[in-house]
Each structure stands twice: as C-alpha cells, then as structure tokens.
C-alpha cells in the first residue's frame, strides 16, 4: 500500500503579510521545507501545491503541482496528481509536526479511512452577543480544535471533493468534506506545536519554538 503526503502551500499569506507564506523562513528554513522534512521519511512520495509561477526550492524530496484559488481546490489538484492508496494532507503553514502525532495518525487512518489530528479546546468558549459583548456560554466539553495532518483513503477523499465541488460546499479542511457524507472521522490527539502560522504573532512564536527544537 502506498501513502502520499499532500501539502497545500499555494496560499498567498495575506494575514502574515510577507508574501507566499510557505516560503517564509523560520531560523533559516522555510515553513514548506520544515513540513516536507517532517513527512517525507514516513511516506512514499510528497506532493506540494504551489502558487502559480513559483517553483519548488531545490533539494526538497517532493514534486509540485499548481494550486488553485482556494485551499480546497489546491487539495483537489493534489489528489488528482497521485494514485496512492492513502493520503496525508498537511498544511505547509504548520511547520512543527511531532513524530509521535504522525505515528498515531497513521495508525488511526485504517480504522475508518478518515482521521484528523485535533486538540481538545482548553479555553472558555463564548458566542458574542448582538452588541459584541459576552453572549451565550458554550460548554467546551467535547469540543476539539481541528489541526492537520489529516489522513484518508485517497479515492474516498477525491470523491468527497468532487461532490463538494458539485454542490458548491466549501470547508476549511478535508475531514469536513467526508464527515458531511456520513464517514466516521477519527480524532487523534494533536499537539500545541502544530499551531498554524497565520499572523505575525504566530511567526514570532514559531521563531521562539524553532530556537528550542532545532539542533
């Protein structure tokens, strides 16, 4: 059985404001290079979706496809670029992937053909009122914040993507597309280090973390 890592990296990084985010470096190594390096030893191939006109930096053990206008479209193109049995979809923007989390995910995927890394919510959750103040309290028990990587049976995920495109259904991740069709998605406990680098504050956090994690 073959497994491919699919890395959507075609975003423009608007909120970070430093150009295409996957190419932004943290202590001399790009977010993309860090994500590729974390996955490559565990899969048969790595495929990256890049913004049109940009090329894969030399030396990365991966090949590239042109991404789409949305993450969902980028992942669909990645899925069409492989015939692997299993795929792991992982945001380039999550550069710190602990090995134990990846191994737990790989173990969970065969259970139902769909699994995601996620983190139990630790903060108090409240919906804002119409005035923008404290509105309705939402018990956090049983709530998870969804991260990546996510693992799937490739054919099932591709089918879910095609159905979503047909229905005009948009989701910010891939597990949501399968859950929508009634597929059971396994939740695998993630890690705070898997946070997504989205804002300048996140980049500062990534730099601090890299100082302690890099050798």
Contact residues: ligand CTP, CB under 6 A: 8-15, 21-22, 49, 67-71, 74, 91-93, 196, 198
CB of 73 to ligand CTP, least distance (A): 6
Nearer of residues 47 and 114 to ligand CTP, judged by Cβ: 47
The residues pairing with 3 across neighbouring beta strands, listed in sequence order, are 86
Distance (Å) of CA 206 to CA 145, 196, 203: 19, 9, 5
Nearer of residues 15 and 27 to Mg ion, judged by Cβ: 15
Select from Mg ion, ligand CTP, none the partner in contact with residue 49, using the beta carbon and a kind-dependent cut-off of 5 to 8 Å: ligand CTP
Nearer of residues 71 and 154 to ligand CTP, judged by Cβ: 71
Omega of the bond leading into 136 within 30 degrees of 0 (cis)? no
Select from ligand CTP, Mg ion, none the partner in contact with residue 91, using the beta carbon and a kind-dependent cut-off of 5 to 8 Å: ligand CTP
Measured CA to CA, the distance from residue 47 to residue 105 in angstroms comes to 19
Nearer of residues 11 and 149 to Mg ion, judged by Cβ: 11
Nearer of residues 54 and 104 to ligand CTP, judged by Cβ: 54
- Which window, 5-13, 79-87, 160-168, 178-186, contacts Mg ion (CB under 5 A)? 5-13
Residue 24's closest CA among 45, 62, 61, 54? 54
CB 52 within 8 A of CB 60: no
Nearer of residues 13 and 113 to Mg ion, judged by Cβ: 13
Residue 146's closest CA among 170, 103, 117? 117
CB of 48 to Mg ion, least distance (A): 16
Q: Is the dihedral of CA 89, 95, 99, 100 positive or negative?
A: negative
Query: Binding marks (x or -) toward Mg ion, 10..29, rule CB under 5 A?
Result: -x------------------
Longest pairwise C-alpha distance within the chain: 54
Q: Is the dihedral of CA 63, 65, 67, 72 positive or negative?
A: negative
CB of 113 to Mg ion, least distance (A): 27
H-only helix segments in 55-199:
71-79, 99-112, 154-167, 175-179
Query: Binding marks (x or -) toward Mg ion, 195..214, rule CB under 5 A?
Result: --------------------
The residues of the shown chain that bind Mg ion, judged by CB under 5 A, are: 11
């Amino acid at each position: 059985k073959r497994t491919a890592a699919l890395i959507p990296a075609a975003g423009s990084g608007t909120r970070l404001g430093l150009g295409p985010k996957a190419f932004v470096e943290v202590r001399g190594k790009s977010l993309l290079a860090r994500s590729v390096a974390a996955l490559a030893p565990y899969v048969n191939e790595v495929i990256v979706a890049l913004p049109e006109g940009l090329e894969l930096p030399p030396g990365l053990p991966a090949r590239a496809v042109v991404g789409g206008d949305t993450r969902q479209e980028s992942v669909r193109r990645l899925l069409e670029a492989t015939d692997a049995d299993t795929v792991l979809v992982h945001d380039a923007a999550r550069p710190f992937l602990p090995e134990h989390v990846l191994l737990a995910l790989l173990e969970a995927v065969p259970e139902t053909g769909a699994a995601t890394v996620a983190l139990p919510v630790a903060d108090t959750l409240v919906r804002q009122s119409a005035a923008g103040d404290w509105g309705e309290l939402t018990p956090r028990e049983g709530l998870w914040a969804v991260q990546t990587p996510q693992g799937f049976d490739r054919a099932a995920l591709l089918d879910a993507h095609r159905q979503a495109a047909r229905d005009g259904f948009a989701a910010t991740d891939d597990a949501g597309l399968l859950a929508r069709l009634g597929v059971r998605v396994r939740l695998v406990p993630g890690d705070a280090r898997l946070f997504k680098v989205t804002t300048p504050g996140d980049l500062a956090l990534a730099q601090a973390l890299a100082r302690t994690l890099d050798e």
